Amino acid sequence: MRARSSCKRGLAAASIAALVAIAACATAPSGPPREAGPFRAADLVEIVKLDPTILLDIRYATSNNFTGRPVYRQARAFLQRPAAEALVRVNRSLHAKGYGLLVFDGYRPWSVTKLFWDVTAPDKREKGFVANPAKGSKHNRGAAVDLSMYDLSTGREVGMPSTYDEFSDRAGPDYKGGTDDERARRNLLRAEMEKEGFTVDPGEWWHFNYRGWERYPILDIPFEKIRGQTTVSRDSVAR
């Protein structure tokens, strides 16, 4: 009863923070899903420490994202070590073609996936634009990355058929619209990522999952608590 009353008071306040809390009370599990395993030991590494020519645009550390507010306290990107090392190889291959990788997001704590679900309209959930926290996200496992490319000669993000996190048909990796150049760059990114063991999400050209993602556990630990910027504490693993 106390939790229900708290939700009602939040509704009366009508603030963004209160609405998020209300949704959390009503629609999502209170903690990460429990999985039996066994899993590989989590070994998250900071991408730019392996290759500083991979640029970051961590939108979720700013208000420039679909929630309209920061959800990360630090603008950093991590992946499980094999995925991060594969990403470095993709970046080096793209350099020969005049491009570099621009990363929007990598490992994502489960609590952030829950928040995304809570604030997203049901019709957008049904189209798969956000992951269901009851199942967890491949981002929560450190085995998914959101990214695009930048032009090496200018340092600027290249144009693609849609913007990042655009909830529309233009986001699809096989969308036929946009310009020839936009589709060519999108397809180049996909081809280079697939060479290194990544597969594109069917609804988002920017989202790639690394092979063997299911062998890693769902994690819920903020960036600033990743010990030594490499190995994750076992206490953060959903069991």
DSSP H helical segments within 98-170, as ranges? 110-119, 122-126
CA–CA gap between residue 31 and residue 111 (Å, rounded): 8
CA–CA gap between residue 34 and residue 239 (Å, rounded): 5
Closest listed residue to residue 146, CA positions, set 80, 77, 214 = 77
CA–CA gap between residue 84 and residue 131 (Å, rounded): 22
| DSSP bridge partners of 237 | 219
CB neighbours of residue 171 within 10 Å: 22
CA–CA gap between residue 91 and residue 220 (Å, rounded): 28
Tokens linked to 125: 């959930």
204 labelled catalytic? yes
Among candidate residues 182, 204, 214, 224, the one labeled active-site is 204
Tokens 């063997």 belong to which residue? 212
Closest listed residue to residue 100, CA positions, set 45, 49, 148, 30 = 148
Q: Point out the residues that are catalytic.
A: 204
